[in-house]
Chains A and B, each alone.
Chain A
């Protein structure tokens, strides 16, 4: 499973059960994810990938599943 798949599955199951999300969809500005949902996602990322994006990431990293996956890879020293 790719990071994108994992994240999409987690968010669609636990954060946005109503309708889910796609990889490229804007999570916050679409209104689908609120601040509590964002914390859930960041907790999942920390637990799953050992990466803390909240303090190191830039706002662009949090826009979509795709940008989150790139930020995780970058933080782990992989090519994004």
Chain B
């Protein structure tokens, strides 16, 4: 019988490989399949005893370590959904998510201890599991009435009978940047997680012999394939820390030394790996599949990668967190020298359906521009705590004269169907941009800046950059009589936003640039910033 949950998928795979086989490892620790399952069951027993189960949300606030994966699997084994918090984001942002989500339990690690007390103020989780030495936990002076347990104690618990996890149960919630100023939670069930994972396993013939990379952080949707296509196939997974993930030469060495077979990351780091000159030098002979996603891969660099790795399957996986992945494209053996347009985003995954609608809501065919819609098993169930937004984006199939049932999701991406049946990506129809693969709603940055007492109006501007996608800067207008300091404004942003969303530069303007119709002239602001950046670069 096929697994009914992501937890079941991993547990079943563990049963098919020797229990002493390495499941996950990083630079400091490793964990076998036997340990992974027994320790996850220990966590599940601890959560279950505290009454945490189906429908509940558990915050995972940890660095990317084997213990963190145990916490994630243990949460799902207990029947609850995991909500990964970015360990590098300001704790206030994580706290906003905790308030939105209403955590039934929180699992945190030692580096989080310093802010855990403040983080927990006013929250009432039924269990808090902390991965730190007992004396460090005592010294952290956490609220006295917490149901606290050390990670070591939880993972050592004996497994207990647990309620069955149903495919329709919540599996995980990933928070992405939200245009209204607060992050929004994208809900996936086991059903959608499995639909996507099974597609990766089948389409790319994943076997227990594969060795996967885990480059993306766990709060980023690229991690879903990393975690479950690997561990759900009995393969091994090398966790890459945030620091390692930035060191291009080290990463190439890592792929070679660990005999990695499957790599998945945003293009920016692949470009850095190419620029370090190491990919051509090492050749990466064990690698068979390289996935990239999250942003446009600059064509000249992709051509170089194609030449450097002629025997590796290069795949562009496309789709927002809401769809996991909805289309994909295999990069051909050669990319013509004169091609400058970005590589295609391909066709719908075999178990998905996609179509393009124009402004009038009509399906358009080859050569016409329109917005991409997706249908099928990979779709999210909605946004947490936001039925209005869910109802607006996840709608009954809108195609006129169509008898098709089911919900469809509007990706908000402008595309054009090419003669070969593949989609060309043209851009976004809103203010969402990507920087280093991270999805950024400019509105969230603007909302934080406008929340500063000295600021009247703020516009975040994405300046296109060939290496990182976009560099974020901002133009602000001060309130009358105020003279805000740009560095203090950046400091204000870094209290609420992750580093990749903090504007690199902030200009203080007398008034905001406006179009003839009185709207903010974002194009003019962009041109001004581009000329400023070009002048600075020329110096």
Contact = CB atoms under 8 A, between A and B. Distances in A.
B528 interface: no
B244 A54 contact: no
Contact of A17 (B244, B272, B468, B491): B491
Nearest to B502: A18
A12 B372 CA distance: 45
B258 interface: no
A29 B27 CA distance: 14
Contacts of A35: 246, 268, 272, 436, 468
A-B pairs with the 5 shortest C-beta distances? Answer: A31-B88, A18-B491, A28-B243, A34-B499, A35-B246
Contacts, number: 68
A30 interface: yes
A26 B114 CA distance: 14
A36 interface: yes
B109 to A, nearest CB: 11
Interface residues of A, number: 22
Contact of A62 (B63, B243, B468): B243
Q: Is the interface of A mostly helix, strand, loop or mixed?
A: loop
A34 B276 CA distance: 18
18 contacts: A17-B491, A18-B494, A19-B494, A26-B111, A28-B241, A29-B87, A29-B88, A31-B88, A31-B498, A32-B499, A34-B499, A37-B499, A54-B247, A54-B249, A54-B276, A57-B247, A58-B250, A59-B243
Interface residues of B, number: 33
Interface in B431-487: 436, 468, 471, 487
B499 A33 contact: yes
A29 B242 contact: yes
Contacts of B243: 28-29, 59, 62-63
Contact of A31 (B90, B250, B268, B490): B90
Interface of A: 17-19, 26, 28-38, 54-55, 57-59, 62-63
Interface in B480-536: 487-488, 490-491, 494, 498-500, 504
B490 A17 contact: yes
Contacts of A19: 491, 494
A54 B248 contact: yes
